[in-house]
Structure 1
Amino acid sequence: MDLFAWLNTPAFELLGKPVPYSDLFGNICALATVVLALRRNILSWPVQILGSILLFSASVSAGLGGNASRQVVIIVAAVWGWTQWKKSKAASGEVLVRWATWKERAILLAALVIGTGVFGWVLALGGWSWNPYPDAYIFIGSIVAMYAQGRAIVEFWFVWLAVDLVGIPLAVAGGLVFSGVVYLFFLVMVILGLIDWSKRSRQTISAPHRPATDIGRDPED
């Protein structure tokens, strides 16, 4: 049995549906990614790359072409985000989070709406997804969120929240029940991350001489 075949064999069943190893381990990495991002730890990026490789395998097996393509782009975006945080750390030893400007918000929203429409049309035209527009929405939303995360913009948590709300029913409908359950945990962690980054953004504005975030350093330190 080759690696791809083994990754997509069932590890166990959840609600009467099989959970492949790729879905299991990929989502464990995804959960770890969110926890590390909440702590502003640079290791969130390589862990996300590993998780995306595993979830790519799971999505291909489930026939979700848009979600599979999403994982490829996430890997590329994670490499970019990783370099951005490394540069910031090299320059100042910290990454300062901030709220986006209204112009940046408008750009992010336009990218999300237009990108979803265009990519959804492509998926539908090629027959690459059984539910093209929600599939496209998750794909584009992930790109927008990771771009905002790489720029250390607080709004990236809002985008992930919007992606999760669509991802839960889509994953369950596509047979990836474990992914749907994990998305519920994401919702909780995204809210915690939003609260934490929001507070730190205000600290940066009110007290710029104090470090807002330290990569690789726990908030309690």
Structure 2
Amino acid sequence: MNWAEAGFEVFGTKVLWTDLVGNVAALSTVLLAIRKSVWTWPVQLVGSVLLFITYANAHITGNALKQVMFGALAVYGWWRWQRGMQDGRELPVRPATSPERLALVGIMLAGTAAVAVLFFVTKLSWGALVPPPKGYFLVLADAYIFVGSAVATWAQGRALVDFWLIWIAVDLVGVPLAFSSGLVVSGAVYGVFFVLVLVGFFNWLKEYRSRTVLVPKEAM
């Protein structure tokens, strides 16, 4: 049997090892990100490789390509965070500015539309093979997750608090899509992600606010 298809059954449902271990690694990156540990990036890189294999075998091309993108962005985020934490400094997190937020939303909207057309024309998304109107929705969801994940990871690399909010928006689509594709582990992990992302958002926001309050006092 192909090692990429190896797994075990739980209540009659097959769980792939690549899906399980890859999602454990992905889940670990969220926990590490909450703590602002630079280890979040190498762990993400490992998880991306395993999940790429999982999604490629399940013919969910958008999610498979997303893992390739995650691998590249993990290298970028690793470099950015190491620069921000030089000489033992604390990673400086901050909310995005108004222009940055407009740019993030604009990229997500325009990017989703462009990638959806690409996925549909090239049949890169399995949804393109499903009769409309369901097929259209699946392609759009695939493109949305791909673009949203890219934007969120890029914003995380720049230590923007808003990246947590983008992940929430992605999870709202990713959970039902994973379950409908038969990837039970991925669907369950997406649900756990949602809770952890909320925790991460409030932690980062609290830290930023406490830092902005302390700076004026220290300067006095």
Instruction: Give the alignment's TM-score, normalised by structure 1.
Output: 0.89
SS at match of 1:12: strand
SS at match of 2:8: strand
Amino acid at match of 2:63: N
Structure 2 partner of 1:6 = 3
SS at match of 2:10: strand
Amino acid at match of 2:141: P
Q: Which of 76, 84, 103 is matched with 2:72 structurally?
A: 76
Whether the aligned pair in 2 keeps the contact of 1:8 and 1:57 (CA below 8 Å) is no
Unmatched 5+ residue regions in structure 1? 211-221
Return the offset for 1:91: 5.3
Structure 2 partner of 1:24 = 20
Structure 1 partner of 2:46 = 50
Unmatched 5+ residue regions in structure 2? 128-137
Amino acid at match of 1:128: L
Structure number with the bigger relative contact order (C-alpha 8 A, sep ≥ 6) is 1
| Structure 1 residues 209 and 62: CA distance shift in structure 2, 3 A | farther
Structure 1 partner of 2:94 = 98
Instruction: Give the alignment's TM-score, normalised by structure 2.
Output: 0.90
Aligned-CA RMSD value? 1.5
Return the offset for 1:170: 0.6
Structure 2 partner of 1:138 = 145
Amino acid at match of 2:37: N
Give the structure with the higher percent helix: 2
Aligned residues: 206
Q: Does 1:202 align with 2:198?
A: no
Q: Which of 154, 163, 182 is matched with 1:156 structurally?
A: 163
Q: Which of 28, 31, 34 is matched with 1:35 structurally?
A: 31
SS at match of 1:97: coil
Return the offset for 1:205: 1.5
Can you list the C-alpha shifts for 1:140-182, whole angstroms capped at 9, x where unaligned? 1111001111111100000011111111011111111110011
Structure 2 partner of 1:219 = none
Structure 1 range deviating more: 89-98 or 99-108 = 89-98
Can you list the C-alpha shifts for 1:19-49, whole angstroms capped at 9, x where unaligned? 1111000000011100000000000000000
Q: Which of 166, 170, 176 is matched with 2:173 structurally?
A: 166
Return the offset for 1:8: 2.1
| Structure 1 residues 21 and 209: CA distance shift in structure 2, 3 A | farther
Can you list the C-alpha shifts for 1:110-139, whole angstroms capped at 9, x where unaligned? 011111110011111111212211011111
Return the offset for 1:17: 3.0
SS at match of 1:207: helix
Return the offset for 1:101: 0.6
Aligned structure 1 segments of 4 or more residues deviating by more than 3 angstroms: none
Structure 2: distance between partners of 1:11 and 1:29: 19
Identity, % of aligned positions: 42
Q: Does 1:122 align with 2:129?
A: no
